[in-house]
């Protein structure tokens, strides 16, 4: 079932705008995630889709039909909450079948659906237990089952895994992805966890302060963020932001770290005359976004590298996070955060070690210093003009 939000807004009597004119199209069978920090408007948007809150303005279309003012029970959507919302005095079997009984579904059909859901979610042994006897992961699967058994047109999920411990969250996340690939039911999922969004979603919508600021596939969001906010919110460790000067060097685009006289040879790229005109004679001060995996940490002097010192080595198993700081006045981070590189765990580094940083031409993004908006995306394979 398709979903369309057309200029959907939500304002409260205090004047606070929780959602500011969201336009969104979700395709039939798509797993779409609304991702953003607490208070950005993602749950309010979900509740308006469910009919639990009325939009101040705009339209909500489900399957091409206007459901903006329709009662929640007539929207044929199923919502899974963070709190599970199971009836404690009922068994798992009774929790699963309650909505079907209310709709006067035949008893034989209810039994068949419960058995099918129990097999699908591996909760057959729990059917005669009450929620108080279950673990958090088991209760979450029952909550999912209660939504699935209704066979709705759309699933709405509000941070359903946030109460689970890390290991169980990862396992349930895998089960949820497999379940969606089997059922192909349109799903709107809300989370502040970017790892969940990247793993589960066909597409992601990034929200901030009530605005839907970027929509794309997980890879598009990661590789081509539209702003510093998006770039920092998606990716672990977070993207590095470095002050640079971009200038014309013999007809090629050159990036020079602040305080350094020579450009980074690794990111010399062709550009048009129009781009060079925008840069001006002395170049343009911008912010370079560099993913940690694009930072090369060299133990020997290299002509195309900036001097640095290791402040900390964080072992992460198969890789190490190397926390760095520039030395000799060359380069500075735009946000005051340390520079982080990711290296394989078999590379030997230690705190206080003098190293050289080389920027690989992978997933480099240039941002406007004043607005934080993306100016261009760079790599050896592609060049998008200013």
- pLDDT, tens digit, 9 for 90 and up, residues 171-219: 878 888 888 898 889 999 999 999 999 999 999 999 999 999 999 999 9
Residue 306 backbone zone (phi > 0: left; psi -120 to 50: alpha; other: beta) = beta
234 inside domain: no
| Percent of the chain residues topping a pLDDT of 70 | 95
| Co-location of 197 and 127 in the same domain | yes
| Co-location of 31 and 163 in the same domain | yes
Point out the least confidently predicted range of 185-194, 319-328, 371-380.
371-380
383 inside domain: no
Domain boundary among 198, 227, 256: 227
235 inside domain: no
- Determine how many CB atoms are found less than 10 A away from the CB of residue 349: 16
Q: Name the band, by pLDDT with cuts 50, 70 and 90, for residue 379.
A: low
103 inside domain: yes
176 inside domain: yes
What's the predicted TM-score (pTM) here? 0.87
| Co-location of 182 and 248 in the same domain | no
385 inside domain: no
For residue 238, give the H/E element and its range. none
CA distances from 44 to 12, 15, 319, 377 (A): 11, 15, 38, 33
pLDDT at residue 218, as a whole number = 96
| Co-location of 191 and 266 in the same domain | no
- Checking if the pLDDT of 32 tops 80, the result is yes
- Checking if the pLDDT of 37 tops 80, the result is yes
67 Cβ neighbours under 8 A, 6+ residues apart: 51, 60, 61, 74, 75
Short-list 56, 52, 48, CA closest to 3: 48
The CATH number that applies at residue 336 is 2.40.50.140
| Co-location of 248 and 194 in the same domain | no
pLDDT tens digits for range 281-307: 677 888 999 999 999 899 888 777 888
74 inside domain: yes
Q: Is 181 helix (H, G, I), strand (E, B) or coil?
A: helix
Q: Name the band, by pLDDT with cuts 50, 70 and 90, for residue 326.
A: confident
* Owning domain of residue 283: 240-378
pLDDT at residue 47, as a whole number = 95
> Does 210 or 362 have the greater pLDDT score?
210
Alpha helices in the chain (DSSP H): 42-50, 92-102, 107-121, 136-148, 166-183, 194-200, 218-223, 228-233, 273-279
Q: Name the band, by pLDDT with cuts 50, 70 and 90, for residue 96.
A: very high
- Checking if the pLDDT of 381 tops 70, the result is no
Domain boundary among 227, 250, 282: 227
Strand partners of residue 287: 243, 367
pLDDT (average), residues 127-156? 88
| Co-location of 211 and 322 in the same domain | no
| Co-location of 156 and 260 in the same domain | no
The CATH number that applies at residue 223 is 3.40.50.300
211 and 38 Cβ atoms separated by less than 8 Å: no
- Checking if the pLDDT of 260 tops 60, the result is yes
| Co-location of 340 and 284 in the same domain | yes
pLDDT (average), residues 365-369? 90
Short-list 291, 301, 224, 286, CA closest to 254: 286
Short-list 220, 223, 171, 162, CA closest to 189: 162
- Checking if the pLDDT of 48 tops 70, the result is yes
- Checking if the pLDDT of 157 tops 80, the result is yes
Q: How many structural domains comprise the chain?
A: 2
Provide the sign of the torsion angle of the four alpha carbons 217, 223, 229, 235, taken in this order: positive
**Helix pair 136-148, 166-183: axis angle to 10 deg:** 20
CA 72 to centroid of chain Cα atoms:
28
Short-list 333, 338, 314, CA closest to 244: 333
| Co-location of 196 and 162 in the same domain | yes
| Co-location of 215 and 267 in the same domain | no
> Does 37 or 136 have the greater pLDDT score?
37
96 and 145 Cβ atoms separated by less than 8 Å: yes
| Co-location of 78 and 179 in the same domain | yes
Residue-averaged pLDDT of the chain: 88
Dist. CA 274–CA 384, nearest whole Å: 12
Domain boundary among 204, 227, 250: 227
| Co-location of 260 and 323 in the same domain | yes
């Amino acid at each position: 079932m398709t979903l369309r939000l057309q200029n959907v807004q939500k304002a409260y009597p205090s004047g606070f705008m929780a959602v500011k004119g969201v336009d969104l199209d979700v395709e039939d069978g798509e797993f779409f995630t609304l991702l953003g920090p607490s208070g950005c408007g993602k749950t309010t948007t979900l509740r308006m889709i469910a009919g639990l809150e009325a939009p101040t303005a705009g339209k909500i279309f489900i399957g091409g039909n206007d459901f903006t003012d329709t009662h929640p029970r007539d929207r044929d959507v199923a919502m899974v909450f963070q709190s599970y919302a199971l009836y404690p005095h009922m068994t798992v079997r009774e929790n699963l079948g309650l909505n079907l009984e209310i709709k006067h579904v035949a008893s034989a059909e209810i039994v068949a659906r419960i058995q099918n859901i129990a097999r699908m979610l591996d909760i057959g042994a729990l059917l005669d237990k009450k929620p108080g006897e279950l673990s958090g992961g088991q209760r979450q699967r029952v909550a999912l089952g209660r939504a699935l058994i209704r066979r709705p047109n759309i699933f709405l999920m509000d941070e359903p895994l946030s109460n689970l411990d890390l290991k169980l969250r990862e396992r349930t996340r895998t089960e949820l992805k497999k379940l969606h690939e089997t059922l192909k039911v349109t799903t709107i999922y809300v989370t502040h966890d970017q790892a969940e969004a990247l793993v589960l979603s066909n597409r992601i919508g990034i929200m901030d302060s009530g605005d839907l600021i970027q929509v794309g596939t997980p890879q598009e969001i990661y590789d081509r963020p539209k702003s510093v906010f998006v770039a920092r919110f998606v990716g672990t460790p977070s993207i590095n932001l470095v002050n640079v000067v971009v200038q014309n060097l013999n007809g090629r685009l050159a990036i020079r770290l602040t305080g350094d006289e020579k450009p980074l040879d690794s990111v010399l790229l062709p550009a048009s005359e129009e781009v060079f005109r925008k840069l001006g004679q002395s170049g343009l001060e911008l912010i370079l976004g560099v993913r940690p995996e694009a930072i090369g940490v060299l133990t020997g002097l290299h002509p195309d590298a900036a001097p640095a010192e290791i402040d900390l080595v964080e072992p992460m198993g198969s890789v190490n996070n190397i926390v760095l700081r520039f030395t000799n006045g060359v380069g500075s981070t735009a946000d005051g955060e340390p520079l982080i590189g990711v290296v394989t765990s078999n590379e030997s580094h230690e705190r206080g070690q003098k190293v050289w940083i080389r920027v690989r031409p992978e997933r480099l993004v240039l941002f406007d210093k004043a607005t934080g908006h993306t100016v261009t995306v760079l790599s050896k394979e592609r060049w998008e003009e200013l």
